[in-house]
Structure 1
Amino acid sequence: MDLPLVVGSDGSESSLRAVDWAADEAALRGTPLRVVYASLWERYEGSALARDLGKPDAQVLAEDIVRAGAHRARSRQADLPISMAALPEDPAYALVREGKNASALVVGSRGRSGVVNVLLGSVSLFVAAHADCPVIVVRGSHDNQARMPVHGRVVVGVGDDSAAAVRFAAQEAERRGALLDAVRAWRCPAHETIDHPLLAGAPERVYEEQAAEALEAALRDLPPEAKVQRRTVEGTARRVLLGAAYDADLLVVGAQRRSGHFGLQLGRVAHTVLHHSPCPVAVVPERAREHSRA
């Protein structure tokens, strides 16, 4: 049985846009959709929930919210199998647990806290950092359609350990009939000079060539029919990926697991794009390399 795509909904406009995106994505994948609401979300959002729904606090029931999310998804994808759950627990931990039996998690960029849209909500950030499965944060103010991509490009940031992110991005691009734009950022350290024996004459060229070689290595397992654009771009990974995301339908980044921490921890690149990307961002867990001890 296919694992469902899980979407978190708290009734906010951001989460309902995430429901729309998730419904399209589930239909694209041919998998069921599960709409989840955690009833302790009010701990983060305050009385705005009741006010926005036009009801007294006592009448705002978890079932109202999760049913509204499921209805929204069904109105968008009528034939999609949809289940729902109203969970009486902390939303961040509830969604992370749901991710253990999900093909992916989808969340909005923020809840009802009133924080400006450029910043990511605390629940979404926690889920992206700790879930076992890929997490898609639906960002951006343009039309976020999963089935009918607006730009026809899925961007993946290729780092030193990006195998899972590359596979995920390639699958997303194939589902959409979109181009996979594989981007590797590189920089020439300021302290490098032409006096260095390996860099004589063109230090920038050496670093660019190394980036191109790393990019090719990361893409070598993709099928030959995959539509891939390879790019090496000078600059910080954060700046390069944010620039690439402006005309993309999805930005995919990997995030390493670190031993001794709970679940998945976000690096600076993933953290930055989650806060500032103009398009939806998928954070894909990467398995840390095993190092033998002497």
Structure 2
Amino acid sequence: MEILLASLAVLGWAIAVGLWLQRESLKQRVLAAEQAEQRFSATFKALAAEALAQNNQLFLELARESLGKYQAAAEKDLESRQAAIEKLVEPLGQALGAFRQQYGQLGEQLRRLSEDQTRLQAETANLVQALRSPKVRGRWGEIQLRRVVELAGMLEYCDFLEQESRTAEEGRLRPDLVVKLPNRKNVVVDAKVSLKAYLEALEAPDEDGRKERLREHARQLREHVVRLSDRRYWEQFDPAPEFAVMFVPGEAFFSAALEQDPELIEFGVERRVLIATP
């Protein structure tokens, strides 16, 4: 019995030792497996890092190469576009330069025109002031009449005479101009400058005042027609057609009178006076 118990005790101890050894062996295997896993993980990480680095380097090289090609193509395209733009802009630049030159010339012409206009206004003001004098108006009308016949190619003493005088019952008659026609015939021309009322109309402050002065201007021209008709120049400078010419040295003066007196021309014809302008 004791031997059996002892044997069982030894057997139990042997089993226990075997289990302990198995456990220790299992622990060693687990530890070895963990260490192997750690080494494998480290190795994998190192390999992965190395592969990633290689891939990154390859990617960077490929990207750099691709970017270089794209940059070169872009620079070439940019140069071609720049050349095309310069070719397109060049005519515009030339046109702009020509425009600036013309604009400068135009500015100079406008400056001169402004100066001329200023001088013209001053001269016009002086002329208006001078024409308020009856003597100046009469002399100006005579000068205008002479210029008209000279522009027509007529020569003094051959085609016309100035201030030719005749004695009549009413006194001494001296028209401004006598035009010599073939067969020793004459046409008498007398310049009449009725401007007082016309100039006052230009300076009238309102429309009613302007129309009133223009009506007076037309009335004055009608009076000149009557006086010229009463002189009957055609009788004193015979042979002559039975009419005289009343020269008004400005179309504007005559037109303004006609607007207020539309029958002025017919009235002159009835009185054997033909009204003429330059």
TM-score with structure 1 setting the length:
0.23
Question: 1 or 2, which has the higher strand percentage?
Answer: 1
Larger RCO of the pair (alpha carbons < 8 Å, separation 6+): 1
Question: 1 or 2, which has the higher helix percentage?
Answer: 2
TM-score with structure 2 setting the length:
0.24
Bigger Rg, structure 1 or 2: 2
